[in-house]
Amino acid sequence: MIVKHLEEIVGTVDDIDTPTWSSRRLLLKQDGMGFSLHDTIIKAGTETFIWYKNHLEAVYCIEGEGEIEVIGGETYQIKPGMIYALSGNEKHYLRARSQMRMVCVFNPPLTGREIHDEEGVYPLLEG
């Protein structure tokens, strides 16, 4: 059994900060669960272009408001309680009107290697 607390992750190598988001990785591949689980902050006023070409991601918003624009598709409003799942590796823009807190699950799990090359994640603008 694995037991952790967010407080143990903040400020460590598993707390990744970028100009538009920060991600506290609660569970990673090495935890052996078959998925990774992240508590992510999307910074207010930012826009991020994201393409997880090698991963499926589900995102559950628990704080804040914004939108996700699927490139070539629809735009969906994000507010607490909204979940989206990138079941088709959709390229998208993620925009935060206010700071958003998202619980993210990745399949396959992130290993930590993706942190350094930001594979599939390309920040465009910061607000």
Contacting residues toward ligand 9YT, per CB under 6 A: 21, 23, 38, 40, 50, 57, 59, 94, 102, 104
DSSP category for residue 46: -
Q: How far apart are CA 41 and CA 23, in angstroms?
A: 6
1 vs 16, beta carbon nearer ligand 9YT: 16
27 vs 59, beta carbon nearer ligand 9YT: 59
* DSSP reduced 3-state for 24: strand
> Minimum Å distance from CB 84 to ligand 9YT?
9
User: Could you tell me which residues are beta bridge partners of residue 107?
Assistant: 56
1 vs 116, beta carbon nearer ligand 9YT: 116
Q: Tokens in use for 83? A: 């979940």
> Minimum Å distance from CB 124 to ligand 9YT?
13
> Minimum Å distance from CB 42 to ligand 9YT?
6
Please report, for residues 40, 63, 95, 112, 122, the alpha-carbon distance to residue 117 in angstroms, rounded to integers and kept in the order given.
Answer: 18, 28, 22, 10, 10
27 vs 50, beta carbon nearer ligand 9YT: 50
